[in-house]
Homo-oligomer: A and B are copies of this chain.
Amino acid sequence: MKKIKVPNAPSIRRMPSYLHKLYHMRLEGKSFVSTTELAEHMNTELIVVRKDIALVGLAGQRRIGYHINELISAINEYLGWQDTLTATLIGAGSLGTAILGFDEFSRYGLRIESVFDCDTNKIGRALRGHEIFDVATIRTRLKTAPPDIAILCVSAVTAQLVADQVIAVGIKYIWNFTNVSLTVPDYVIVQKEVLAGGFAMLAVKIKNDRSGDCLPIKE
């Protein structure tokens, strides 16, 4: 599998939180933020925010801070979120439904264009305004204009099979919500680990907290 080394991953993971706060501040009618404000809200150190903003390459105004609109644009550009990415959602179970209903994605430039499932009870029905298509029709339906991303919310047993199909259709990016390690060609990029990794972190935090192994530093 192709490996893409993405620099500044920790900063990238923090970006959506900044955006969330910035949009909120804009709604309140504010037009400038200081790193102090952002840091307080994010519960992190000032210098972390500073470095992150330096990364997106925006100049602020000393003693005043950063223009909120400019900062929003700069972060979105840094994340590539000003260009819309299209996706197909495969698997209309509860997780798929949740993802489809995650409104923020449209703001992040992700547009889910089609939904597939293999359950005959679901096929043909509508889910949040999308008709659910038969998984068996992936090839015929997506061949002419394949979306950028396939979002996989299928069962573990069908994950590889579905991955093969979306790859055959020309999709290069897979966001894999199953916990199966997919075997894919070199040019396909798979984004993995959503739930389990998060719980692992939480469990270890709890464990350390209880045993007093960790200083009560921030997070």
Q: Which residues of B contact A205 (CB under 8 A)?
A: 4, 6, 173, 189, 191
* Cα of A80 to Cα of B109 in the assembled complex, Å: 38
Q: Which residues of B contact A161 (CB under 8 A)?
A: none
Q: Does A148 contact B (CB under 8 A)?
A: yes
Q: What are 26 residue pairs bridging A and B, where the CB atoms are less than 8 Å apart in the complex?
A: A1-B218, A4-B216, A5-B219, A16-B179, A16-B197, A16-B200, A79-B200, A79-B207, A81-B200, A85-B206, A94-B94, A94-B98, A95-B98, A95-B101, A97-B98, A99-B195, A104-B195, A105-B199, A108-B200, A109-B203, A110-B203, A175-B198, A175-B199, A175-B202, A189-B202, A194-B194
A215 at the interface (CB under 8 A from B): yes
- Indicate whether A20 reaches chain B with its CB closer than 8 angstroms: yes
Task: State the A residues within 8 Å of B (CB).
Answer: 1-6, 9, 12-13, 15-17, 20-21, 41-43, 78-81, 83, 85, 93-95, 97-102, 104-105, 108-110, 148-149, 172-173, 175, 179, 181, 186, 189-209, 214-219
Which residues does chain B contribute within 8 Å of A95, judged by CB atoms? 94-95, 98, 101-102
Asked if B201 contacts A191 (CB within 8 A), the reply is: yes
The answer to whether B194 touches A16 (Cβ under 8 A) is no
A148 with B9, Cβ < 8 A, contacts A175-B198, A198-B191 known: no
The residue among A1, A42, A202 with the most chain B CB atoms within 10 A of its own CB is A202
Cα(A109)–Cα(B80), bound, Å: 38
A42-B173 Cα distance, complex, nearest whole Å:
18
Smallest Cβ distance from A148 to chain B, in angstroms? Answer: 7
A95-B98, A175-B198 known; 18 other A-B pairs, CB under 8 Å? Answer: A3-B216, A4-B209, A4-B218, A6-B219, A13-B197, A16-B196, A16-B199, A17-B196, A20-B179, A79-B203, A93-B98, A93-B101, A94-B100, A99-B195, A175-B202, A189-B202, A189-B205, A189-B206
